[in-house]
Structure 1
Amino acid sequence: MLVRYWMSRDVITIDENESLQKAAKVLQENQIKILPVMRNGTIVGVITDRDVKRASASDATTLDAHELHYLLSKLKIKEIMTKNPITVPDDYTVEEVAGILLEHKISGVPVVNEEGKLVGVITKTDLFKLILALTGARNGGVQFAFQIEDRPGSIKEVTDIFRKYGGRMASILSSRERCPEGYRFVYIRMYELDRQKIPKLKEEIEKTATMLYMVDHSENRREIYV
């Protein structure tokens, strides 16, 4: 899952000599939170909606509305932007980017190619879209969650049971995070599953795994077992 396949490519940028007022307008009109700042085609900084709010609030208590508007129109982006911003190569994985966003507590980063040219931006919103794509959640279906032994072949044992009951397997996710020692969590989403077969399916799965929950998104039904 490389960044280049999930980043936003139509990057909106702004010149470093533009006013803070212009940056605020661009951020608001395009409903974005991060704006790469350019100098002669090269990224030299970023400005965020948080930067704009911080700069506006610093003088808001001492200036009236007209004076504040005038100040924002004169203040240059290069005076308040984050210089030498964090960027990521377009061949980074989205997992690496997620780690960077968490570590630095930021909402997004510019993406550059091997020549250092700006080619995109990836944000938390893009990562949320990725989660929806990986889980198949946009198309509903039924999600099953269970805990199994963490040993070779344990996932196959469960997926073989699902295949016996028809339907289409949309996604399989697995994690050891927050799971008891020697076990793992597995999440399977099924499409076109005959609802009348679900009780027998669960009964058979429970011989191999501990069921955690089942969510039928199509019928808005939830069963929590643990």
Structure 2
Amino acid sequence: MYVKSRMTANPYTIAFNAPINEVIELMHEKNLKRVPVVDDEKVVGIITSSDLEKVSPTKATTLSIYEINYLLSKTLVRDAMTKEVITISPDALLEEAAVLMRSYRISTLAVVKENKLVGIITESDIFDAFIDILGFRDIGSRITVEANDVPGALADIGNIFSSFDANITHIADYRGSGGKSDVVIRTNALNTDDIEEELKKRGYLVLNVIKNQG
């Protein structure tokens, strides 16, 4: 899965020399937590709700609303933005985006192609992709099986499901210690009693079964 399939394309942006109250209004109106900052089409920063808090008067201020608006109109986006922006290509793998976010401890990446901003990808996009990859919202059954971490184990498990005409829609393998793996299988079948029995006969330990009937 690629970044371009999960990113928000053509995101709202703000010019680096715009007054700070313009981005405040934009974020409030569009319910945004972050906005890329651009100079023409080139991304030069990112501004977040946390950045805005640092330059906004506190609630304890004695300034009037007119004085506050005047001060904000004199503060430019470039004075409050985070200048170091981590970018990624739209053709990069989603895993690469996740690794970058974890490495830099950030929640957003600017997606850049040929030095132009084409999108943003966030932690929420990664989480949604993870849920979809595992098919957790799909109707069917989720069966977790403990298997020996040996060649052919997944093929053998797949053959068991196939023998009962049950389609495997999603699969994940979590390798543990002691040469064992937890294999998480999602199938469109809701009645999995016979599949579970056959798995046990073949020496697999069925750890967990969850049904989703929609």
| TM-score normalized with structure 1 length | 0.85
Correspondence 1:214 to 2:209: yes
Structure 2: state its 5+ residue gaps: none
Q: Measure how far apart 1:108 and its partner are.
A: 0.9
Query: 1:19, CA displacement in angstroms?
Result: 2.1
How far apart, in 1, do the equivalents of 2:120 and 2:190 lie? 42
Residue by residue, what CA displacement relative to the aligned partner does 1:31-87 show, whole Å, maximum 9, x if unpaired?
Answer: 332211011221111111221233326x44344452434333332110010113111
Matched, 1:134 2:133: yes
Judged with a 3 Å threshold, the aligned counterparts in structure 2 of structure 1 residues 182 and 21 are, in CA distance, closer, same or farther, namely same
User: Distance between the aligned counterparts of 2:184 and 2:131, measured in 1?
Assistant: 14
The equivalent residue for 2:150 is 151
User: Which secondary structure state, in structure 2, belongs to the residue aligned with residue 202 of structure 1?
Assistant: helix
**Deviation readout 1:175-215 (Å, 9 max, x if unpaired):** 22xx2231222111111x152xx222212212432222111
Moved over 4 A (4+): none
Q: Which residue, out of 158, 179, 182, partners 1:182?
A: 179
Tell me the SS of whatever aligns to 2:137: helix
Output aligned runs, 1:156-175, within 5 Å: 156-175=155-174
SS class of match (1:85): coil
Find the aligned partners of 1:137 and 1:109 in 2 and give their Cα distance: 26
Kindly provide the CA deviation profile for residues 77-107 of structure 1, in whole angstroms up to 9, marking residues without a partner as x: 1001011311112222111111111222221
- Cα distance in 2 for partners of 1:88, 1:106 equals 13
The residue that corresponds to 1:205 in the other structure is 199
- Residue aligned with 1:83, SS: coil
CA deviation after TM superposition for structure 1 residue 160, in Å: 1.1
Within 2, Cα distance between the matches of 1:17 and 1:127? Answer: 31
User: In the alignment, which residue of structure 2 is the partner of 1:122?
Assistant: 121
Partner of 1:224: none
Q: Is the 8 A contact 1:142 1:215 kept in 2?
A: yes
Distance 1:86 1:63 in 2: 38
Asked if structure 2 preserves the Cα contact closer than 8 Å seen for 1:45 and 1:82, the reply is yes
Structure 1 segments unaligned to the other structure (5+ residues): 220-226
Is the 8 Å Cα contact of residues 166 and 194 (structure 1) preserved in structure 2? no
Aligned partners of 1:199 and 1:161: how far apart in 2?
Answer: 12
Query: Alignment length, in residue pairs?
Result: 212
TM-score, normalization: structure 2? 0.89
For 2:37, the aligned partner's letter is V
Matched, 1:5 2:2: no
Structure-2 change in CA distance of 1:201 and 1:108 (3 Å): same
1:33/1:107 contact within 8 Å kept = no
Quick one: distance in 1 between partners of 2:161 and 2:74? 64
Distance 2:151 2:44 in 1: 49
